[in-house]
A and B are shown apart, each in its own frame.
Chain A
Amino acid sequence: DTAVSQTPKYLVTQMGNDKSIKCEQNLGHDTMYWYKQDSKKFLKIMFSYNNKELIINETVPNRFSPKSPDKAHLNLHINSLELGDSAVYFCASSQGGYITEAFFGQGTRLTVV
C-alpha cells in the first residue's frame, strides 16, 4: 500500500509541450505539497494545499499550475515546457495542525528535450 503515489515516474517530452503529473495520498492527511529537486539535488518547495486551499505559492513561473480536486489529490500541470524545467518533482503530504512528518512520493523525473 503506497502512502503517497505519483504518476508518471518518468516523463520525457519536447519543449513547448504541456504535461501533467498526478499525486494521490491515502494517509488521510490534509496538507499536500509539490517540491522540485534540481540536478544538484537541491529540494525546494513550489506549492502547498491544505484541504484543497492553496496556502503556499513560492516564486514559480505561471506556467506551473497546481490543482487539488480533493484533499487526497494534488496535480501539477505545466504549460509550454522549457529545458530548465527538467528536474525531479516530488509530491508530499503531512497532517496539518501540529507539525508532523512529511511523506514523499517516489518522484517524477521530467526531462525536457
Chain B
Amino acid sequence: GENVEQHPSTLSVQEGDSAVIKCTYSDSASNYFPWYKQELGKRPQLIIDIRSNVGEKKDQRIAVTLNKTAKHFSLHITETQPEDSAVYFCAASIKAAGNKLTFGGGTRVLVKP
C-alpha cells in the first residue's frame, strides 16, 4: 500500500521567515496530494491541495510543489506568522483506492515572534 514520509517532524522558525515541509510517497498511482493544518485540539483542515497533472500551486503565502518523477511534494509557507503555528500533515490519495488518504507523520511548526 501507499506509504508517505514527512520531514521534518518539528520546525521552529522566526516570524517572517519561510518554512518548508517535504513529503515523499511510494505509490506512483497516487494522484491527489492535500495538505492539512491541525491546531491544538482542533480538526485537520485543508489548506491547499495539488493534483498529479499540476507541478505547482500557490495560494497567498502558501505554495505546494509536486515532482511526480521523484515522488515528492513540498509545502512552502512564506512570511510566517504566529498563527501559522500548528501541526501540518501531507497526504496522498489514489482515486482507485476509494480516495483513501494516507497521511505523513506530521510536522509541528512553531513560529516564534
A residues touching B (Cβ–Cβ < 8 Å)?
31, 33, 35, 40-45, 48, 50, 55-56, 90, 94, 96, 98-99, 101-107
Q: Complex: how many Å from CA A106 to CA B42? A: 6
16 A-B pairs in the complex with CB atoms less than 8 angstroms apart: A40-B105, A41-B38, A41-B87, A43-B44, A43-B89, A43-B106, A45-B100, A45-B102, A48-B100, A90-B44, A99-B51, A99-B93, A101-B46, A104-B44, A105-B43, A107-B43
Question: In the bound complex, do residue A31 and residue B49 qualify as a contact, i.e. CB atoms below 8 Å apart?
Answer: no
Residue B103 at the chain A interface, CB threshold 8 Å: yes
Question: In the bound complex, do residue B43 and residue A45 qualify as a contact, i.e. CB atoms below 8 Å apart?
Answer: no
Q: Which residues of A contact B101 (CB under 8 A)?
A: 33, 35, 45, 102
Residue B98 at the chain A interface, CB threshold 8 Å: yes
Q: Which residues of B contact A106 (CB under 8 A)?
A: 42-43
Question: In the bound complex, do residue B103 and residue A56 qualify as a contact, i.e. CB atoms below 8 Å apart?
Answer: no
Given contacts A101-B34, A105-B43, is CB(A44)–CB(B103) below 8 Å? yes
The residue on A at minimum CB distance from B49 is A101
Residue of A43, A99, A101, A103 touching B103 (CB-CB under 8 A): A43
Q: Complex: how many Å from CA A99 to CA B42? A: 24
The residue on B at minimum CB distance from A109 is B41
Q: Which residues of A contact B46 (CB under 8 A)?
A: 101-103
Residue B12 at the chain A interface, CB threshold 8 Å: no
Q: Complex: how many Å from CA A101 to CA B50? A: 11
Number of B residues near A (Cβ < 8 Å) is: 24
B31, B43, B93, B105 — most chain A CB neighbours (10 Å): B43
- Determine the main DSSP class of A at the interface with B: strand
> Binary interface profile of B, 26-41, with partner A (CB < 8 Å = 1, else 0)?
0000011010001000
Q: Which residues of A contact B87 (CB under 8 A)?
A: 41
Q: Which residues of B contact A40 (CB under 8 A)?
A: 105
Residue B99 at the chain A interface, CB threshold 8 Å: yes
Q: Complex: how many Å from CA A102 to CA B34? A: 9
